[in-house]
Copies of this chain bind each other. A is one copy, B any other.
Amino acid sequence: MAIHRHFDEELDLLKQKLVFMASMAESMIYKAVKSLTERKESLIAEVNEDEEKVNLLQIEIDELCLNLLALKQPMATDLRFITSAMKINSELERIADMAVNITQRASGLIKQPQLKPYIDIPRMADLAQKMVKDSLDSFVRQDAELARSILTRDDEIDVLKDQIFRELLTFMISDPSSIPRALELILVSRHLERIGDHATNIAEDVIYLVQGKDIRHHIEEQRNHRK
């Protein structure tokens, strides 16, 4: 029976579950954006099914963390690792929610003529997916360098978001009939931006975890100054 696993094995199991959840979230982002760009209703349904699985996984991971805290009473490093895992778990669940939100926009948009070729939205989605993947890799490998690279990429996402906004604004001003579709596309770009934010939250947790001091708001301040 596996009830008396060693603590290290339990931690490995926790990592595996989180990596699996992240890979589901990534694939949901991919499918959600593809449902829009390739106008595929079937992918919208898939994302909604995936979300239910992610929700169950979130509860499972939460319980695993609580059990580890209660039964093993870990100290210092392991304690921080487990509480970080709980935070990352929430972030991943929200990333999955954002993918669902994108499909809600897609579901209206694919019933209407396409406003413009989609170029920047798939680019944003690629960036966001990669950020999610790397944020989890940085957690598993305790790699602060990789985590730090995610903070820079979040700025790239913001640049694309602003670009999309300006372009769609031009569409709306020159052709009012484009406004409802343009607004939906702006919201898609905001959902992708938020995925980048969640991956950044994970990366900041990892840096905090590795360095053992709270740089979260310090980084935030630096980034605000750069804006």
User: Which chain A residues have a beta carbon within 8 Å of chain B's beta carbons?
Assistant: 52, 55-56, 58-59, 62, 65-66, 69-70, 73, 75-76, 79-80, 83, 86-87, 90, 169, 172-174, 176, 179-180, 183, 186, 190, 214, 216-217, 220
CA distance A217 to B183 in the complex (A): 29
What is the CB-to-nearest-CB distance from A92 to chain B, in angstroms, rounded to a whole number? Answer: 14
Residues on B with C-beta less than 8 A from A214 are 59, 62
User: Which of B86, B174, B220 lies in contact with A86, CB distance below 8 A?
Assistant: B86
Q: Which of B66, B173, B190 contacts A80 (CB 8 A)?
A: B66
Complex partner residue of A169 from B80, B86, B180, B186, CB under 8 angstroms: B180
Q: With the chains together, A58 CA to B86 CA distance in Å? A: 16
- A216: shortest Cβ distance to chain B, in Å? 7
Q: Identify the closest chain B residue to A227 (Cβ).
A: B104
Q: How far is the CA of A174 from the CA of B86 in the complex (A)?
A: 48
Asked if residues B59 and A83 are in contact (CB atoms below 8 Å), the reply is no
Whether A70 pairs with B59 at a CB distance below 8 angstroms is: no
A52 → B minimal CB distance (Å): 8
Question: In the complex, what distance in Å separates the CA atom of A216 from the CA atom of B57?
Answer: 13
From B69, B172, B174, B217, A83 is in contact (CB under 8 Å) with B69
A217 to B58, CA, bound (A): 10
Neighbouring B residues of A169 by C-beta, 8 Å = 179-180, 183
Q: Which of B56, B75, B79, B179 contacts A172 (CB 8 A)?
A: B179
Choice from B87, B186, B220 contacting A183 with Cβ under 8 Å: B186
Residue of B with least CB distance to A55: B217
A179 to B66, CA, bound (A): 49
* Cross-chain contact A79 with B59 (CB below 8 angstroms): no
Q: Which residue of B lies closest to A62 (CB)?
A: B214
